[in-house]
Amino acid sequence: GEGSVWVLSDGILFQVDPIENRLARTIDPIPGNGVAAGDGSVWVIDNLAGELARIDPVSGRVAASASLPGSLDAVAVGGGHVWVLDQAAGTVAVVEPSTLSVIDTVRVGSDEHDMVFGGEAVWLADGGEDSVTRIDPLTRETAVFPVPEYAEAIAVDPDNGAVWVLIRAVS
């Protein structure tokens, strides 16, 4: 997102140039456990501090931050909103990007742990229920699709909207 690949590791945000296949810069300290890019910003969640930060991708500075309720376990951006998963509560908070305020909450499955925006929807992998959950960003309605075994990770192809699910065999 935002013309780069963004990786968060050990309090450092790495910006990678995908065309040149090189590290463009590092931004630190940026404590957190999740990162997503889109809608003109880079978004970082910090579960320990309970904060969502909006980072300017040009300057690398934190443009705004806000405390959010619950656990912050995954973040995605798209459809005009930032989506933050609270795994323990089984909910996704819908955050207004300009104010960083929670405007809605969507109930999801019992073990959602990976989340992405693509194909005009929010997608979550639910390992405990062996399923994938789709959230419609306009209506906030959910649809659940069964998968053969534990859904560990999820991705959406930006070219054709195909949803890819990493399945882990549990025996």
pLDDT digit string (tens) for the chain, length 171 residues: 888 999 999 999 999 999 999 999 999 899 999 999 999 999 999 999 999 999 999 999 999 999 999 999 999 999 999 999 999 999 999 999 999 999 999 999 989 989 999 999 999 999 989 999 999 999 999 999 999 999 999 999 989 999 999 998 876
pTM higher than 0.85:
yes
Query: Helices (H) and strands (E) in the chain — how many of each?
Result: 0, 17
Closest CA to 66 of 56, 55, 51: 51
Looking at residue 56, what is its pLDDT?
A: 96
CA distance 84 to 50: 11
Looking at residue 143, what is its pLDDT?
A: 97
| Residue 33 per-residue DSSP state | S
Closest CA to 41 of 11, 65, 71, 9: 65
Q: Residue 26 in contact with residue 15, Cβ under 8 Å?
A: yes
Two tokens, residue 112: 């959602």
- Phi (first) and psi of residue 17, to 5 degrees: -80, 110
Looking at residue 169, what is its pLDDT?
A: 83
Looking at residue 171, what is its pLDDT?
A: 67
